Amino acid sequence: MALNLDAVGKTIGPVRKEYSWKDTVLYALGVGAGFSDLEYCYEKDLKVIPSFGITTMYDFMPQLLSTSNVNLAGILHGEQELIFHQPIPPDGEFITEGRITNFYDKGEKKGALVIGQSETFHSNGQKLFTSIGTVFSRLDGGFGGEDVPKEEIKFPNRDPDFVVEAEPLEDQPLIFRLSGDVFQLHVDKEFAKMAGFEKPIMHGLCTHGFACRALIEKLVPGEPEKVRRLVCRFTKPLYPGVRIKTLIWKTEEGRAFWRVVNSENEEVVIDNGIFEYGEIPKETIRFDDRVAIVTGAGAGLGRVYALELAKRGAKVVVNDLGGARDGAGKGSKGPADKVVDEIKALGGQAVANYDSVATAEGGESIVKTALDAFGTVDVVINNAGILRDKSFLKMEPDNWQAVIDVHLNGAYYVTRPAMAVMKEKGFGRILMTTSAAGLYGNFGQTNYTAAKMGLVGLMNTLKLEGQKYNIKVNTIAPVAASRLTEDILPPDFIDKLKPELVAPMALYLVSEQCPVSGNIYNAGLGCYNRAAMVTGCGAVVGDGKEIPTPEQVVVQWKSVADMKGAKEYQSVNEQIGDVLVAFSKPAERATETTAGFTSVSDVFDAMAAAFVADAAAGVDVVFQYNISEEGGGDWFCVVQDGSCQVEAGVHDKPTCTLKMNSADFLDLMNGKLPAMQAYTSGKLKIEGDIMKSQLIEKLFRM
């Protein structure tokens, strides 16, 4: 099997990893922290050792290795670089995405190097660190590639400025492995012997963590948040329990070289270390060398997006037809030209385009303008829009079509040729513009809302098709004063609803730093939030073999419609997967009530106390229970005028009668048997008014 040289540039991930303060403490203990540096081990004012970031690699690396097709029999972690952009918060979720950037060939029988680079974001949206890792693959050399350019550090010709001694425990790998690297070499004596070692060896990254603590202790004591860069090369294995020394040479303010040696034999186990430290400068979002197309950029929101992009270095294609609010008329060059002039006056670069987005030729021509003027396309903001509001029955086909053509078809016509360029270059950011009207509905806008939700569907699939080319597609639902909204928004608000308050969200979503794809964000007045399509857990109606009846749907309606525990799916496959699971394990989806009833009479004794009077306004029903077999009997429950009365016996006018055997009834009441499963399997029979029987769940909190 040869290396997959085509894998260079292909996106790996995003790989998600949730972590809590306990994970960061476990890592700290794994790299030798304790009472002497309690700030890493105590959840009160907890600080995170920056090298903890490396634990993201345990999920990312397997994907990198399989994508590269390396021969797993001969791999070693060669070098590692971490560049920190923000301190790591003590809990949250890491979202890591990267790619193989290079394969280097050291020659036949000498091996190959696979270089992977990834960016890790926190679930709070901040970019935390960049990781550049080198895997040395002993068995993959000789494929005819270039050798790696050697970068050796020249250590100062003097004693180190600091020497930090440490003694990893004999059991150190047993703790460290709990942070994610569970390779047998670090735990299994037999395996270690087979690999040529006397016993299990230390994880190189464990020693790396010891070194990181030592560097912080001497250069930024108590301030791990000031670590900016940590680079090293792993050179020799080390046995646990062997004393180590981290040797540190401070070469200039904010920079040091380091290595770790085995104190017993002075062998260098980690070499070529660089440590950079100091305040991490605030990251700015820039678009230098990026080319952005903004459609409908002659006015309103599009104009502000174009100006803000240009101010941050983007070369902008300002597209605008210059037509009327409803799209009528021939159009004019004025609006696009004016915005181009504004950008140039600010020292930016821009070119105008006057095509309509609503035709395939127009879309092609807009992208061609970008290619002719600036040579590429990195960003597309589909923003052009018109309105033709009418209530649905008055909505003639031409008004329907015109709006669909500009909003939905326009995005298709422009995005398609642009995406072809993005795919080739392995980078792209696309923004769709939906509307709260589309997301939630608005009287008189059927054409517009249908088009706006069509854009969400377009994004949902484009996010999947663009993923491996680093093309991210998101959607914004803006609110701003403009020609489109001047007679829709309350006049008192118009002055406050500046398009400038929407632009920060749009710019972040089309930036290199954007961590998400396939999401929708509302943005207006400087208030931003995410909107999403979520799906309830639902219920399996029927047994999956026989076709359920509409009456069975009625019985299960509460569960079918319940949105508790609703979930967001990333693709249709995920959703189908859940449906299949629901069919294979219906019992697992049961309500988790473990009341612990041991007899049927216990249930009826507890029923009056479990009555929810607030839910009983206007309810007038009698539930009759016929429980057969051991411990069973007849009970009825009268709910009337907000009160509840439970009695043994048979009522003469029950609203509905529920029949079960005692064992099944106890299972049902103890949460072991889902109500719908009981009904569809025939264990629960309901006579009389089935609809009213649904009230039981609402009226009693059992």
Question: Looking at beta carbons only, is 200 or 331 nearer to ligand NAI?
Answer: 331
205-218 in b/e form (b: 16+ CB < 10 A) is bbbbbbbbbbbbbb
Q: Which is nearer to ligand NAI, 322 or 466 (CB)?
A: 322
Nearer to ligand NAI, 98 or 323 (CB): 323
Q: Which of 97, 320, 378, 667 binds ligand NAI (CB under 6 A)?
A: 320
Which residues sit opposite 245 in a β-bridge?
165, 261
Options 247, 270, 321, 510; binder of ligand NAI; rule CB under 6 A: 321
484 is an interface residue for ligand NAI by CB under 6 A = yes
Give dist(CA 539, CA 97) in Å, integer.
35
Does residue number 300 form part of the binding site for ligand NAI (CB under 6 A)? yes
519 touches ligand NAI by CB under 6 A: no
Cα separation of 519 and 509, whole Å? 10
Number of neighbours of residue 670 by Cβ within 10 angstroms: 17
Question: Is residue 323 involved in binding ligand NAI (CB under 6 A)?
Answer: yes
Member of 68, 435, 475, 552 binding ligand NAI (CB under 6 A): 435
**CB 280 to ligand NAI: min, Å:** 36
Does residue 204 interact with ligand NAI by CB under 6 A?
Answer: no
Which of residues 172, 467, 482, 519 is near ligand NAI by CB under 6 A?
A: 482
- Is residue 383 close enough to count as binding ligand NAI by CB under 6 A? yes
Quick check: 454 binds ligand NAI (CB under 6 A)?
A: no
Least distance (Å) between residue 405 CB and ligand NAI: 7
Q: How far is the CB of 529 from ligand NAI (least distance, A)?
A: 15
Q: How, if at all, do strands 291-294 and 315-319 pair?
A: parallel
Among 96, 118, 356, 694, binds ligand NAI (CB under 6 A): 356
Q: What order of strands is seen across the sheet that includes strand 633-640?
A: 643-648, 633-640, 621-628, 656-661, 685-688
- The end-to-end CA distance of the chain, in Å, is 61
Nearest to ligand NAI of 449, 662 (CB atom)? 449
Query: What number of other Cβ atoms are within 10 A of residue 485's Cβ?
Result: 18
Q: Does the protein bind ligand NAI through residue 378 (CB under 6 A)? A: no
Closest distance between ligand NAI and the C-beta of residue 458, in Å?
14
The DSSP string of 207-222 is HHHHHHHHHHHHHSTT
Contacts of 56 (CB under 8 A, 6+ apart): 15, 17, 94, 96, 118, 120, 131
Q: Is 327 in the site for ligand NAI (CB under 6 A)?
A: yes
Chain positions 266 to 295 lying near ligand NAI, rule: CB under 6 A, are 295
Binding piece for ligand NAI, criterion CB under 6 A, among 155-163, 350-358, 414-422, 659-667: 350-358
For residue 8, give the nearest of 113, 94, 161 by alpha carbon.
Answer: 113
Give the max Cα distance, the chain: 102
Instruction: Give the Cα separation of 101 and 9 in Å (integer).
Output: 6
Nearest-approach distance from CB 287 to ligand NAI, in angstroms: 20
Residue 348 tokens read as: 């930016």
- State residue 131 phi and psi, 5-degree precision: -120, 130
In angstroms, give the least distance from the CB of 112 to ligand NAI.
Answer: 50
Q: Which tokens hold the place of 472?
A: 């991210």
Which window, 20-28, 83-91, 142-150, 296-304, contacts ligand NAI (CB under 6 A)? Answer: 296-304
Element (H, E) at 397: helix 397-404
Q: Which C-beta is closer to ligand NAI: that of 279 or that of 487?
A: 487
Which residue from 386, 600, 660, 666 is in contact with ligand NAI, where contact means CB under 6 A? Answer: 386
When asked if residue 479 is in the footprint of ligand NAI (CB under 6 A), the reply is yes
Residue 296 near ligand NAI by CB under 6 A? yes
Q: Which of residues 459-478 bind ligand NAI (CB under 6 A)?
A: 478
Q: Binding residue for ligand NAI (CB under 6 A) from 231, 301, 637, 696?
A: 301
Give alpha helix (H) positions in 346-497: 360-374, 397-404, 410-425, 436-440, 446-466, 491-494
* Under 8 Å between Cβ of 51 and 209: yes
Task: List all residues 6 or more positions away from 663 whose beta carbon is below 8 Å from its beta carbon.
Answer: 629
- Nearer CB in complex with ligand NAI: 219/386: 386
Minimum CB distance to ligand NAI, residue 338 (Å): 11
Length in residues, the chain = 702
Q: Is 142 left (phi over 0), alpha (psi -120 to 50) or beta?
A: left
Residue 180 touching ligand NAI (CB under 6 A): no
Q: Which of 302, 417, 515, 518 touches ligand NAI (CB under 6 A)? A: 302
Cβ proximity to ligand NAI: between 224 and 499 the closer is: 499
Q: For the segment 485-514, give every residue that binds ligand NAI (CB under 6 A).
A: 485
CA 294, CA 309: separation in Å to the nearest integer? 10
Q: Please state the closest distance from residue 315 (CB atom) to ligand NAI, in A.
A: 19
Let me know how many helices (H) and strands (E) the chain has, helices first.
Answer: 22, 23
Q: Can residue 522 be called a binding residue for ligand NAI (CB under 6 A)?
A: no
> Which x/- pattern, by CB under 6 A, does the window 98-127 give for ligand NAI?
------------------------------
Number of residues that bind ligand NAI (CB under 6 A): 32
Smallest separation, CB 364 to ligand NAI (Å): 13
Q: How far is CA 231 from CA 70, 84, 213, 527, 535, in A?
A: 24, 11, 14, 40, 45
CB 518 within 8 A of CB 474: yes
Smallest separation, CB 321 to ligand NAI (Å): 4
Of the listed pieces 158-166, 297-305, 535-543, 573-581, which binds ligand NAI according to CB under 6 A?
A: 297-305
User: Which residue bears the tokens 């629960």?
Assistant: 684
Q: Quick check: 185 and 192 in contact, CB under 8 A?
A: yes
How far apart CA 245 and CA 265 sit, in angstroms, is 11
Report yes or no: 332 and 366 within 8 Å, Cβ to Cβ.
no
Spatial CB neighbours of 151, under 8 Å, sequence gap ≥ 6: 272
H helix or E strand, kind and range, residue 422: helix 410-425
Kindly state the smallest distance separating residue 435's Cβ from ligand NAI, in Å. Answer: 3
Q: Which is nearer to ligand NAI, 361 or 605 (CB)?
A: 361
Is residue 447 a contact point for ligand NAI (CB under 6 A)?
no
- Verify binding: residue 381, ligand NAI, rule CB under 6 A: no
Is residue 406 a contact residue for ligand NAI (CB under 6 A)?
A: yes
Sequential DSSP letters for 318-347: EE-----TTS-S---SHHHHHHHHHHHHTT
**Residue found under tokens 């930016």:** 348
Residue nearest to ligand NAI (CB): 300
The reply to whether 358 sits near ligand NAI by the rule CB under 6 A is yes
* Of residues 192 and 432, the one with the C-beta less far from ligand NAI: 432
> Nearest distance from residue 420's CB to ligand NAI, in Å?
20
Question: Is 448 annotated in the active site?
Answer: yes
- The one catalytic residue in 27, 40, 104, 448 is 448
Radius of gyration of the chain (CA): 32
CB nearer to ligand NAI: pick between 387 and 696: 387
List C-alpha distances in Å: 459 to 190, 371, 429, 453, 571. 52, 24, 12, 10, 12
Q: Which residues are the active-site residues?
A: 448
* Residues in touch with ligand NAI (CB under 6 A): 295-296, 298-302, 319-323, 327, 335, 356-358, 383-386, 406, 410, 433, 435, 478-480, 482-485
